[in-house]
Amino acid sequence: MNQNGKIYLLMGVSGSGKTTIGQLLASQLRIDFFDGDDFHSVSNIEKMKSGQPLDDHDRHDWLKNINTLASKTLATNTSAVIACSALKKQYREIISANLKESIIWIYLHGSKELIQQRMAARQNHYMPVALLQSQFDILEIPNESIKIDISLDPQTMVNTILQETNKSTLGIVGLGVMGKSLARNWARAGVKLSLYNRFVKGVEEQVAEKTIQAYPELEKASGFEDLQSFAHALAKPRIIFMMIKAGKETDVFIDEILPHLEAGDILIDGGNSHYADTKNRITRLEKQQIHFIGTGVSGGEKGALYGPSMMPSGSFEAYQKIEHLLYSIAAKDKNGSPCAAYIGPEGSGHFVKMVHNGIEYAEMQLIAETYAYLRYAQGLDPYRIAQVFDEWNQGSLHSYLLDSTVHILQKKEGDDYLIDLILDVAGNKGTGNWATIAASELGIPAGMITGALFARYVSTLKESVRNLRQTIIPNSKTSQLSIETVKAAYTAARIINHQQGFLIIRTASLEFNWNLDLATIARIWTNGCIIRSTLMEKMMVAFHEHQDLFEYEEIKQEITLLKSKLKAFCISSLEVDLPIPCHTSSLDYLNSLSAMYSTANIIQAQRDFFGAHTYQKMNDTSGAFYHTEW
């Protein structure tokens, strides 16, 4: 993003005072002024002089010339004021091609009578008054512009423009860990910010101001706890990024900010909202011409601060207006492209983030189960396990979560490993639950996500239930799996976890007509997010060729090769009573997919027996349904 240069583009019909105001503005800003009319071809000028209006074709090269002028100005990191006549939307698009975020549109508006009077008083101008109507005809008033009333005196007009252009590009709402980190990231990217945090007496007071004071990079940001002033401080169309609690609080905030918004403003929800809520909010706000974009944001506090992965969805038109802002802070993939991309319509961004979290749950659980095996079945201490994980992490099993676990296992408090002091009751904020429900509703057997979620639930059961606890006594015969076998089991289970996760996304895409691109989703998950890994790089390649990972030859072969190790790991763990719900679920899934006989025929027969639900026959390709009087 060009942070230094700006093009102030004054538009309005001939006679609206563009040259006077433009020159005054340029002189106050100490930048160059250009009159757009000077960039017309001789033939265009001749045509206008002869009283004929220009058509789209005539104007095309002229608009391109202005685009070139603006590009050249910005390329030298300087700013300029350019005055142009009335412009259609498509004309503005030619002028702003590749420069969108660096152009500030200023529209001078006034009554036709006033403009006619001014034109009549004007001397030495080639534009005849008779052509004024043709300019009004092509005028399409830009939504996203600073609108200035030409009946004001020139200095007041320029002051208003200066005031408006001084406004913030982005408003951030909610300065918890994530909001604060995103704000710092955006400030470092050169984005002018207004920060808002609610006022809760004795609990949240002057949060925005205090945040600004605490971080030097926020020095130029303004802080608010009053919504009206906050909204007033934002350039139009307002772009507001919300990082607040998902659910009711998000709706409450939307209701509070709405009276301060105008048509064309954009609200972005960066929280972990439910995708159905996002869809409803988009529809509700559309009626008031407010754009609502739900975006998944992954990467935790560090990601938000140095580069998250972002999954926005909603109206594509609105997305285009905020893309540069997301790109300016997102993590970069291997090729340097931002880990942010338009996901699709409705709440698809939050859906995809929800599945991300589901995959995250199972990835975490698989590491936990592997750790438990090495610790309790094989007697390795946390430090040694950290060494094993670190070795894996240096190779093809590299992942952010494995890397984090290496650090976790090395951490000591006094003489103790910190991990041994942490209560083994797992929390959750709900996205794993939603992912499980969504998979279930879509008919996708995402057993690993469910297994990981339920493992957390089991950990919360009351001590009275958990007093079934027993000491694990490693069985000398079965617990002696090589580290290589354990590694192979973990490798296989991870692939299956990703296959199930992406299958949920693919199915939702078909079901809801979202047209999601799995390769792009995998790409923006290769960096910045919690489930970034070397495996995700492979997924990205795989999804360019196939929509289901199990159709991808290399993965199919890998799974076939690793399956016996996964089985050995499961048997060995079960022998010593170790709960390994995610590993066993992955093995069961493989067995179910590859079993010579499925159990579904028995189920169909039972259904027909007690409920006359009918069944189909193996060798009957007609699709006919049968019922038997059992």
The CA distance from 544 to 520, in Å, is 9
User: For residues 16 and 365, which CB has a smaller minimum distance to ligand 6PG in the complex?
Assistant: 365
Backbone angles phi, psi at 84, to 5 degrees: -125, 170
User: For residues 145 and 272, which CB has a smaller minimum distance to ligand 6PG in the complex?
Assistant: 272
- Among candidate residues 6, 321, 353, 487, the one labeled active-site is 353
Least CB distance to ligand 6PG at residue 453 (A):
9
By CB atoms closer than 10 A (0-12, 13-18, 19+), residue 566 is buried
User: For residues 9 and 455, which CB has a smaller minimum distance to ligand 6PG in the complex?
Assistant: 455
Least CB distance to ligand 6PG at residue 212 (A):
25
User: For residues 146 and 359, which CB has a smaller minimum distance to ligand 6PG in the complex?
Assistant: 359
- Among candidate residues 101, 225, 346, 360, the one labeled active-site is 360
Q: Would you call 6 a catalytic residue per the annotation?
A: no
Q: Judging by DSSP bridges, how do beta strands 7-11 and 80-84 pair with one another?
A: parallel
User: For residues 278 and 357, which CB has a smaller minimum distance to ligand 6PG in the complex?
Assistant: 357
- The distance from CA 263 to its chain's CA centroid, rounded to whole angstroms, is 23
**Hey, what are 488's tokens?**
């192979």
Order across the sheet with 103-109: list the strands.
Answer: 32-35, 80-84, 7-11, 103-109, 146-149
Least CB distance to ligand 6PG at residue 178 (A):
8
Least CB distance to ligand 6PG at residue 177 (A):
10
The CA distance from 427 to 455, in Å, is 11
Residues of this chain that interact with ligand 6PG (CB under 6 A) are 272, 298-300, 356-357, 360, 427-429, 431-432, 529-530
All residues at 6 or more sequence positions from 420 whose CB lies less than 8 Å from its CB, including other chains? 382
User: For residues 178 and 566, which CB has a smaller minimum distance to ligand 6PG in the complex?
Assistant: 178
Of 475, 463, 446, nearest in space to 373 by CA: 475
Closest-CB residue for ligand 6PG? 298
Q: Would you call 323 a catalytic residue per the annotation?
A: no
Least CB distance to ligand 6PG at residue 243 (A):
11
Least CB distance to ligand 6PG at residue 181 (A):
11
For 150-199, where are the E strands, in sequence order?
Answer: 170-173, 193-196
AA letter at 518: L
SS3 (DSSP) at 109: strand
All residues at 6 or more sequence positions from 493 whose CB lies less than 8 Å from its CB, including other chains? 366, 448, 566, 582, 583, 586, 587
The CA distance from 318 to 624, in Å, is 49
Catalytic positions, written as ranges:
353, 360
